[in-house]
Amino acid sequence: MTLPTDSQPPPSPPPPDSATDTATSNGETTTTATATASSSSSENPPDSLPTPPQELQLPISWPQDGTLSLEWIHNLMQCFDWSSRNLPPSEFPSVLPVQAFDSLILVASKMLHKEPNCVTVDPFRPNSGSTASVVVVGDVHGQLHDLLFLLKDAGYPSDDRIFVFNGDYVDRGAWGLETFMLLLAWKVFMPHNVYLLRGNHESKYCTSVYGFEKEVMAKYGDKGKHVYRKCLGCFEGLPLASIVAGCVFTAHGGLFRSVTVTPSKRLKGKKNRKIHLNHDSKTLTLGSLEELSKARRSVLDPPWEGPNLIPGDVLWSDPSKNPGLAPNKERGIGLLWGPDCTEEFLKKYQLKLVIRSHEGPDAREKREGLDGMSEGYTIDHVVDSGKLITLFSAPDYPQFQATEERYNNKGAYVVLEPPNFDNAIFHGFTAVTPRPKVNAYYNFEEVIDSDEELDLESMVTS
Confidence of residue 36 (pLDDT cuts 50, 70, 90): very low
Q: What is the 3-state secondary structure (H, E, C) of 133-170?
A: EEEEECECCCCHHHHHHHHHHHCCCECCEEEEECCCCC
Confidence of residue 55 (pLDDT cuts 50, 70, 90): very high
Mean pLDDT of the chain: 88
Judged against a pLDDT cut of 80, whether residue 281 lies above it is answered with: no
Which residues make Cβ contacts (< 8 Å) with residue 74, sequence separation at least 6? 10, 11, 12
Q: Is the pLDDT higher at 238 or at 304?
A: 238
Q: What is d(CA 363, CA 357) in angstroms, rounded to the nearest whole number? A: 11
The answer to whether residue 192 is catalytic is no
Judged against a pLDDT cut of 50, whether residue 436 lies above it is answered with: yes
For the chain, what percent of residues have pLDDT higher than 90? 77
- Dihedral sign, CA of 216, 116, 131, 380? positive
Q: What is the pLDDT of residues 136-188, one digit of tens each?
A: 999 999 999 999 999 999 999 999 999 999 999 999 999 999 999 999 999 99
Q: What is the DSSP letter of 333?
A: S
Q: What share of the chain is helix, strand, coil (3-state, %, to 5)?
A: 30, 20, 50
pLDDT (mean) for 29-37: 47
Judged against a pLDDT cut of 60, whether residue 338 lies above it is answered with: yes
pLDDT of the residue at 48: 84
pLDDT (mean) for 292-316: 95
Which entry of 141, 145, 192, 201 is annotated as an active-site residue? Answer: 201
Q: What is the pLDDT of residues 370-406, one digit of tens each?
A: 999 999 999 999 999 999 999 999 999 999 998 889 9
pLDDT (mean) for 226-235: 98
